[in-house]
Amino acid sequence: MEKLLAFDFSAFLVMGVLLFTTVTRRMTHGKENRIFLATLACAFLTTVFDTWSIILDVYADGQLTLKYISHSLYLFFHSLMVLIYVSYIISLADIWHRLKRNILHKILIPLPILAVTVSLITNFFTHKVFYMDESGHYCRGTYFPILYIAGFVYAVYGIFFIWANKILFKRSRFWALMSVFILVFAATFLQMFMPDIVIEMFATTIGLLFISMIVQKPEENIDLITDLQNSTAYTIDIKRNLYNEKVFDIIMINVSNFHSIRDIIGFDAANDLLKEIANKLKLLNKTSKINSDLYYLGKGKFRMTIDEDKRERSNEIAELINTDLQAQISVNHTNLNLVCYVCVTRCPYDVDDYEILMHFGDRFTDDHEYSGNVLLARDLFSKERYDLFNKLDSIIDNALTNHKFQVYYQPIYSTKENRFNSAEALLRLKDDTYGFIPPDVFIPAAEKSGAIHKIGAYVLEEVCEFIASKDFQNLNIDYIEINLSVTQCIHQDLVSQVLGILEKYKVTPDKINLEITETATSHVQGIMAKNIQELTDAGIHFSLDDFGTGYSNMQRVASLPLKMVKLDRTFVNHEDNPKLSIVLENTVKMIKDMDMQIVAEGIETEQLVTRFADMQCEYIQGYYFSKPIPKNDFIVFITKNLNRNAK
């Protein structure tokens, strides 16, 4: 008997500790955690009544009623535990909504526990499930198999759900969930040979311990500042919901001025602010009884997911949140006004793609002016745009293999020589489905995917092939400007790639001019400085593109071996502001004093041409002369102008 008690008592202790740590580890958020907690509570009660029953059996002669009650409770909680464990698996796989739709499951799932409950209650009178013999010993009755069958039906359900949804679980999670069944089956099997040792509850406890360690990791899923679920949990839940074709709404709350507020009030107070917002959301969740999941994704972004049965209240809840967050919030005696975008997204109607949904959540604040009203994703959402964004990588790959890229040329005018002396090569992409895609969209994507290196090589080859052609020689064009992105600049093979292509087409280095952007210069160190130096040593000149758009560090500009500076069009177009005109004039003078030449970009009017020519800017580029045009049009354009000049 001691052996018997030893196993049960240790199961009881382990369950107690598990239950305690589960509560203290704050594993009470979210449906799954709550159901897991219920499983543990049930398992704990099972061990309590199991241990109590054994103690009564061994030490309390007589006490028949107590024995009946304690054995009945043990058997009831034991069956209930299996049912709750199956519910936990269903929640993890998030398939409740599917089961609810199926009438067979609706009947089959509650049936076994009903049978168990009825038979245990009637057992007090019939003694058919179990009974106490004359000497007061516990004996199984003829109806006892009902309990086995109930347990078996739930086990089959559980195993089936784990198996059918294995794609949603990592391998470790899959086996941890299975372990409960495997261990219990093994224990039941062992018990057949050693009926004295009741180790089944012990085996269940070990299984639940595995789950607690492997599946239930609240530290990974809870944001410590707000006590809400974190972005990892959000990612998992959203992916799973979409995979399961679940209908649900997301209320997205982006505090767009969070970073500037944090800069003013400091990190600690900003954390207090986040807690305050989280508390408001929790309170609203509680008072409105919508039982939604709440998340904090970082960077002032909160999310609330609302299940299908509560969806008709999403707009009302979003309005309440919006009003609540528009009121001033006081943190550390500072009154703050949040700029909160609140947006209701209906899945899968507005968005059914995970990547697009995540992008949308990140970007919708950038793309829309703050109105103070609740936004509806269906009004904001340009599916084509997000679709395009999603497919850019394959569009770029396809364009590279199927020669969909085209190099255009924009003529650059020399004010000193009164002729077009050069041109800038600008890449164009026309996709069969999406039409013209601007470089501002595909270049950043190509930089991320690494396709920019192939694109760079393609542009250089095209330009060099053009320069080497007979057509080019007749145009009296001195050189072509080629854009280099930062990613290209920091690539180890840049020098060999550029020099290799020049060599291939027998083009001399003075025929090309590489443009690097002002932002790129902030990365100047190591490999980039080495690349620029080696290419300069090889005789290639560099221009600084988009000057005036970023933070101009003149010290850095002066330290680079640059031949030209290209003034960005946003910098050259401000005649209406006399102070900025002074800045422009002095910048031009300073660049010239540093012995660099100037290209004024984005010149659209004759007035500006005259102005820059008067400021002694050597080169002018802009729509006033021509937009970027295909190679053949460029040849025609320059040839015409040559002839006009000659006349």
Positions touching ligand C2E (CB under 6 A) are 410, 426-427, 438-440, 443, 459, 483-485, 515, 545-546, 569, 601-604, 621-623, 628
Say if residues 598 and 567 touch (Cβ distance below 8 Å).
yes
If the CB atoms of residues 157 and 612 are measured against Mg ion, the closer one turns out to be 612
d(CA 87, CA 89): 5
If the CB atoms of residues 318 and 459 are measured against ligand C2E, the closer one turns out to be 459
**Least distance to ligand C2E, CB of residue 528, Å:** 14
Select from ligand C2E, Mg ion, none the partner in contact with residue 623, using the beta carbon and a kind-dependent cut-off of 5 to 8 Å. ligand C2E
**Least distance to ligand C2E, CB of residue 545, Å:** 5
If the CB atoms of residues 72 and 517 are measured against ligand C2E, the closer one turns out to be 517
**Least distance to ligand C2E, CB of residue 455, Å:** 7
If the CB atoms of residues 399 and 459 are measured against ligand C2E, the closer one turns out to be 459
If the CB atoms of residues 347 and 427 are measured against ligand C2E, the closer one turns out to be 427
**Least distance to Mg ion, CB of residue 517, Å:** 8
Interstrand relation of 340-347 and 375-376 (parallel, antiparallel or unpaired): parallel
Select from ligand C2E, Mg ion, none the partner in contact with residue 212, using the beta carbon and a kind-dependent cut-off of 5 to 8 Å. none
Strand locations in 11-58 (E) = none
**Least distance to Mg ion, CB of residue 639, Å:** 24
Q: What is the CA 49 to chain-centroid distance, rounded? A: 47
If the CB atoms of residues 112 and 622 are measured against ligand C2E, the closer one turns out to be 622
**Least distance to Mg ion, CB of residue 619, Å:** 13
**Least distance to Mg ion, CB of residue 259, Å:** 28
Closest to 442 measured CA to CA, from 465, 426, 457: 426
CB atoms within 10 A of CB 249: 25
Measure the CA angle with vertex 502, ends 499 and 505; round to 5°.
150
> Under the criterion CB under 5 A, does residue 483 sit at the interface with Mg ion?
yes
Helix (H, G, I), strand (E, B) or coil at 565: strand
Select from Mg ion, ligand C2E, none the partner in contact with residue 569, using the beta carbon and a kind-dependent cut-off of 5 to 8 Å. ligand C2E
Report the b/e string of 313-323 with b at 16+ CB within 10 A: bbeebbebbbe
Candidate segments 49-57, 223-231, 601-609, 625-633, binder of Mg ion by CB under 5 A: 601-609
Strand locations in 11-129 (E) = none
Q: What residues numbered 434-473 form the site for Mg ion, per CB under 5 A?
A: none
Select from ligand C2E, Mg ion, none the partner in contact with residue 46, using the beta carbon and a kind-dependent cut-off of 5 to 8 Å. none
Structure tokens at 208: 């639940």
If the CB atoms of residues 485 and 587 are measured against ligand C2E, the closer one turns out to be 485
**Least distance to ligand C2E, CB of residue 567, Å:** 10
What single letter denotes the amino acid at residue 522?
A: S
Select from Mg ion, ligand C2E, none the partner in contact with residue 73, using the beta carbon and a kind-dependent cut-off of 5 to 8 Å. none
If the CB atoms of residues 227 and 604 are measured against ligand C2E, the closer one turns out to be 604
Q: What is the CA 369 to chain-centroid distance, rounded? A: 23
If the CB atoms of residues 81 and 427 are measured against ligand C2E, the closer one turns out to be 427
Dihedral over Cα of 176, 181, 187, 193: its sign: negative
Select from Mg ion, ligand C2E, none the partner in contact with residue 411, using the beta carbon and a kind-dependent cut-off of 5 to 8 Å. none
Q: How far is CA 88 from CA 93, 131, 146, 228, 259, in A?
A: 9, 33, 23, 20, 39
d(CA 634, CA 640): 10
Element (H, E) at 616: none
Element (H, E) at 130: strand 130-132
Select from ligand C2E, Mg ion, none the partner in contact with residue 124, using the beta carbon and a kind-dependent cut-off of 5 to 8 Å. none
Structure tokens at 65: 């009623």
d(CA 478, CA 422): 6
Dihedral over Cα of 263, 267, 268, 273: its sign: positive
Which of 545, 598, 618, 634 is close enough to bind Mg ion by CB under 5 A? 545
Alpha helices in 505-596 (DSSP H): 518-521, 526-537, 554-559, 569-572, 578-593
Structure tokens at 582: 């002074």
If the CB atoms of residues 226 and 422 are measured against Mg ion, the closer one turns out to be 422
If the CB atoms of residues 421 and 483 are measured against Mg ion, the closer one turns out to be 483
**Least distance to ligand C2E, CB of residue 550, Å:** 12
Interstrand relation of 405-414 and 130-132 (parallel, antiparallel or unpaired): unpaired
Select from ligand C2E, Mg ion, none the partner in contact with residue 300, using the beta carbon and a kind-dependent cut-off of 5 to 8 Å. none
**Least distance to ligand C2E, CB of residue 449, Å:** 14
Helices (H) and strands (E) counted in the chain, each on its own, are 29, 19
Candidate segments 2-10, 77-85, 537-545, 634-642, binder of Mg ion by CB under 5 A: 537-545
**Least distance to Mg ion, CB of residue 505, Å:** 22
Select from Mg ion, ligand C2E, none the partner in contact with residue 440, using the beta carbon and a kind-dependent cut-off of 5 to 8 Å. ligand C2E
Indicate the burial class of 359 (C-beta count within 10 angstroms; 0-12, 13-18, 19 or more): middle
Give 435's strand partners.
Answer: 431
Site pattern 494..533 for Mg ion (x: CB under 5 A): ---------------------x------------------
> Would you mind telling me the total number of residues written for the chain in this entry?
647
**Least distance to Mg ion, CB of residue 542, Å:** 12
Select from ligand C2E, Mg ion, none the partner in contact with residue 293, using the beta carbon and a kind-dependent cut-off of 5 to 8 Å. none
Residues forming the site for Mg ion (CB under 5 A): 483, 515, 545-546, 601
